[in-house]
Amino acid sequence: MEAKRTPDARFEDIPDWSFKPHYAEDLPGYEGLRMHYVDEGPRDATTFLCLHGQPSWSFLYRKMAPVFLDAGYRVVAPDLYGFGRSDKPVDDDVYTFNFHRGALLALVEALDLKDVCLVVQDWGGILGLTLPLEAPERYTRLIIMNTA
């Protein structure tokens, strides 16, 4: 799949953004694409999985993530494909509900996230609130903001 990649230099010196980038490459069904995600905090703690809406990226959680981290939690905040540091497929027709939902399911599986507090906003809620249906044992809490 043809995709564009925003150079890392474009993300230097962003105010209130000190998170190290992490990338998931070649998620099953998304071979050739790179998805960016924030991953901070202890790996054995409750994970706050923070899903952004449109037209945002994980930067949306720049003020909430430190609060969760200071409380001892782990924060994972992916950039959906087409947003932020993630690859941007060129073909507009790939940007469907199932495309984004599948990518999120693949990322959760690849990172083997457990004891997840799902934090959703805008389209992050429309997509994210379907994730526990696939693996309810992974999810223990919800924080729902400004979504359908």
Domains and CATH numbers, the chain: 21-145 (3.40.50.1820)
CA dihedral of 81, 87, 92, 94, whole degrees rounded to 10: -60
Within 10 angstroms of residue 59's Cβ, the number of other Cβ atoms is 20
Mean pLDDT, the chain, whole residue set: 96
Q: Over 90: is that where the pLDDT of 67 sits?
A: yes
Across the range 81-109, mean pLDDT stands at 97
Asked if residue 86 lies in contact with residue 79, where contact means CB atoms within 8 angstroms, the answer is: yes
pLDDT of residue 148: 81
Nearest to 11 by CA among 2, 1, 20: 20
* pTM metric for this prediction: 0.96
Residues paired with 25 in a beta bridge: 34
CB hemisphere CA count around 131 (13 angstroms): 32
CA atoms within 13 A on the CB side of 70: 5
